[in-house]
Amino acid sequence: MSDQKGMSLLEMMIVFAVLSIILVGAYTFINFSYRQYSWIDTQSKVNQDLRAVIQEMTIDIKEAKAVLYASPNTLVMSLPNMDTYGSIPIYWCDTITYFVDTGVNPAKLKMRLVKGTGSRRRGWGDKVSGNDTNSLWTLCTYIDNHSSEDPRPIFSYNSETTSLITECTVTLRIRRHASFGKFQKGIISTSVRLRNKRN
């Protein structure tokens, strides 16, 4: 007969306790690392999206000949026809409408592009629908400053009279889910002068 004895119940409990501590520690480390990566990755995407959108919007607003309609969440502008270089009558123009689509969740900033005669202007963002002359695009998702909880305007202007608007301030706030019920926020704001504005 062998003189070796098996593990006692107390020894087994001690082994299980040590293993449990090791597993909990490993899980905590992995979980923390994932959350940190998710947090940083989401912040990077938020900042990247905001910079790209504001850059394109700035180009469009600077080029605008006139503001046709202005509200805190909607901006409608007339822009020179891309084929004209400002040389043909004003009624040959392109129209861009920026607006917040609150009918979807999360809310999206969208653009409608209506091209004038012979225009070769291109939309930007993700195309939603439409044809070559009238198209709808999604520019940015997770827009946060549009609701009763955060009523701060997306667009503000240097005049309450539409025909006198020569400068527009665009403020975009994004709130994107990161992980485990946490959200990452981003904000970007810029004031843009309408360099091509005409009466």
Give the number of domains in the chain.
Answer: 1
Report the side by side order of strands in the sheet with 126-130.
Answer: 66-71, 74-80, 93-101, 108-114, 134-141, 126-130
pLDDT of residue 138: 93
pLDDT of residue 168: 93
User: Residue 60, Cα to own-chain centre: how many angstroms?
Assistant: 17
pLDDT of residue 9: 74
Mean pLDDT across 162-177: 87
Q: Is residue 89 part of a domain?
A: yes
pLDDT of residue 87: 52
Q: Is residue 11 part of a domain?
A: no
Backbone dihedral angles phi then psi of residue 93, each to the nearest 5 degrees:
-150, 170
**pLDDT top residue among 186 and 67:** 67
Q: Is residue 144 part of a domain?
A: yes
Q: Domain range holding 67?
A: 29-193
pLDDT of residue 76: 96
Q: Is residue 184 part of a domain?
A: yes
Q: Does position 175 have pLDDT exceeding 90, yes or no? A: no
Tokens of 9: 């119940």
For 103-144, write each residue's pLDDT tens digit.
888 889 999 999 988 888 889 989 999 998 999 999 988 888
Q: Is residue 2 part of a domain?
A: no
What is the C-alpha end-to-end distance of the chain, expressed in Å? 108
pLDDT of residue 179: 64
For 43-74, write each residue's pLDDT tens digit.
667 778 888 889 999 999 998 888 999 999 99
Q: Is residue 48 part of a domain?
A: yes
Backbone dihedral angles phi then psi of residue 32, each to the nearest 5 degrees:
-65, -45
Q: Is residue 126 part of a domain?
A: yes
Q: State the DSSP code for 84.
A: T
Q: Is residue 16 part of a domain?
A: no
With a CB cutoff of 8 Å and minimum separation 6, the contacts of 78 are: 64, 65, 66, 67, 68, 90, 93, 94, 95
Backbone dihedral angles phi then psi of residue 69, each to the nearest 5 degrees:
-155, 140
pTM of the model as a whole: 0.74
For 20-50, write each residue's pLDDT tens digit.
888 877 777 666 666 666 656 666 677 788 8
Backbone dihedral angles phi then psi of residue 178, each to the nearest 5 degrees:
-100, -65
